Amino acid sequence: MRTGTANLPLHNGKAPAWLFQRMVKLSREIISLLVYERGTKEILLRLSDPYWFQSFGCVLGFDWHSSGVTTTVCGAMKEGLRGLERELGLAVAGGKGSASRRTPDDIRQFAGVISLATDAEILVYASKMSAKVDNTAVQDGYQLYHHTFVFDHDGDWAVVQQGMNDANGWARRYHWLSKTLPSFVRDPHAAVCAEQRGDILLNMVAGEAELNRRAVAHLASEQPELVEREAKKTLECNLAQRHEVSLADLNPRYFHKILLKTYERQPADFQKLLEIEGVGPKTVRALALIADLLYGVPISTRDPARFSFAHGGKDGHPYPVDRSNYDQSIEIMKRAVEQSKLGRQEISNAIRRLRSFYEL
């Protein structure tokens, strides 16, 4: 379910403290209201929608177009829900940089807090695989640096993660949703947001790459010497122009080490191959091209990629943030949440009527 594209130029800096504090408060009220009225599944569904996520960032007052909207909105959401996980049955794990590497620990910690109905390790696996796919199986030039994993008490989850490409100055955001996930390795993305579509090295999770995935798993289970011989032949070939892949940067010694590990593990399929620690983009790229040349199973280079203002933006576009108006919005949402908790729907109904009026 791809739902569109968004422009995300890489921007440095961070949200000023006065704005981030308000983003935390307003995100808490908005998410709480949605949970009380529509349940946790609605939150996960909306987070997997790049348009809703982008609009959410605009409502919170952050830059509508920069890469920072992903990291800052997810950070505000995580901070805003801190202490409410048990009440809402919803938890936010991970984050930017070092926080992303603590995602497994976050999941295990919150599993007990929200009385997770399934094994936490299943979610840890989902977190790791979603990151491995977007960093290794989809080779689009974007290096992941942000990973946020949101899950509820039933074990349903959504992922919002982002990579950067220093060469072109853009960021790419990847959205995942467990409810619509057919497979980790066959068209798995709920949506991919990017400025441009097109030239990428390799897309091993494209539906049309199924035969190549099978051949790659088969090669990974072969004796390393056999695969290395074919790799050397490939290096000597004059590749057809359609190939975007090059083996020129392949380290034979490292390749042999990885092939020994895959041979010992005998992965049953491509997903099992991705699970093996050390299997990275270069290994997958080499095996995919060898499979193409040996068995005639083509690789895919199809790119998987597919806003509103409420309070202005921190950089003054389209207009500066009105702090008093922002604080008033927080109070309105807070009162709506309190009324919803009490079973009184007048305020939230009024908000929906107002929205309907503007949609006319």
Q: What tokens appear for 290 in the block?
A: 């060898």
Each residue's pLDDT tens digit, 129-185: 999 999 999 888 889 999 999 999 999 999 999 988 888 888 888 899 999 888 999
pLDDT attached to residue 243: 47
Q: What integer is the mean pLDDT of 334-339?
A: 64
For the cut 90, the answer to whether the pLDDT of residue 195 exceeds it is: no
CB 72 within 8 A of CB 23: yes
What is the pTM assigned to this prediction? Answer: 0.78
pLDDT attached to residue 95: 96
| The Cα angle at residue 145 between residues 24 and 261, in degrees rounded to 5 | 140
Each residue's pLDDT tens digit, 93-141: 999 999 999 999 999 999 999 999 999 999 999 999 999 999 999 888 8
- Residue given tokens 């500066």 in the structure block: 320
Pairwise CA distance, residues 26 & 159, whole Å:
21
Q: What tokens appear for 264 in the block?
A: 């010992």
For the cut 60, the answer to whether the pLDDT of residue 4 exceeds it is: no
pLDDT attached to residue 358: 42
pLDDT attached to residue 59: 78
Identify the three-state secondary structure at position 291: helix
pLDDT attached to residue 349: 58
